[in-house]
Amino acid sequence: MTTGASTPRALPAEYPEPLWAQARAALRTRIESGEVKPGSRLPPERELCRMLAISRVTLRKALTALVEEGALRPAHGRGWYVTTPERGDWPNTLESFSETARRMGLAATSRVLRSELGPSTLDEAEAFQIAPGTPVYRLDRVRMLDDVPIAVDESLLPAGVAEGFDDADFTTGSLYDILTGLGHRLAQADTTIEARPADAGLAGHLDIASGTPVLEMRQIVRDPAQRPLLSSTIRYAGDRYRLRTSFARGTGA
């Protein structure tokens, strides 16, 4: 849906349904047809009123109905966004973003924000058990499923582990697959997950409002000898990520 060349499509006044219901149906048709993509923002209310030849009060009623139906979500001060369909459960096993996408039948792609070597900080050196200042490889990406931004992934690896990355395509390739292809074995990960508000930069990458809750996953991936290979901080849009796990009581409980 574009806002520049769109022509008014006034709703028929003689139609038996109220105008707000007709507007809701017209907008839902555009959403379901793919004219407006999941995660994208609707045109401004003024433009929608012009296109549908209705008042803002009538439009607001239609938009509110679509929110209640789960088709839209409001973003304060930014407009109305088409919701992203549920992407299914994310695993509680050591599985890459690309592997999860393939299992769900979705296309995983990335927009690379940074890919470079640089000196390690004190905290980074401690995580990898190396001397401060030792080179590490930084890879920052926006991770997408079917072109919808799902997460921002900031990965960090010791320079020795990243040898061979020169020809790697991180827009479509899986970091786990690339590491495995280079002979590294990813065996186990220590993971913490917590909710945090998105800052302006993160919100821009995920196309959400600043301050929207995101799920921040911090992970250290180790090889069978418990040597740290990869440190990742992944921030997921809160409405596009669901982790399912299970718990069991001990036999002595």
Give the pLDDT of residue 81: 86
Compute the distance between CA of residue 178 and CA of residue 23 in angstroms, rounded to an integer: 49
- Architecture per CATH, domain 97-240, reads as 3-Layer(aba) Sandwich (3.40)
pLDDT for res 8: 41
Range 19-82: architecture per CATH: Orthogonal Bundle (1.10)
pLDDT value at residue 1:
44
Rounded-to-integer distance, Cα 164 and Cα 75, Å: 43
CA-CA-CA-CA torsion for 119, 123, 129, 133, nearest 10 degrees? 20
Which helix (H) or strand (E) element contains residue 152?
strand 148-158
pLDDT for 128 equals 94
Q: Residue holding tokens 């931004």?
A: 149
Taking the alpha carbons at both ends of the chain, their separation in whole angstroms is 58
Parse the chain into domains and list their residue ranges.
Answer: 19-82, 97-240
Are the beta carbons of 220 and 230 closer than 8 angstroms? yes
**Mean pLDDT per 10-residue interval, the chain, length 253 residues:** 44 66 89 80 92 93 89 84 64 70 80 96 93 96 90 96 91 91 91 93 92 93 92 89 65 55
Residue 38, pLDDT score: 77
In this prediction, residue 204 carries a pLDDT of: 94
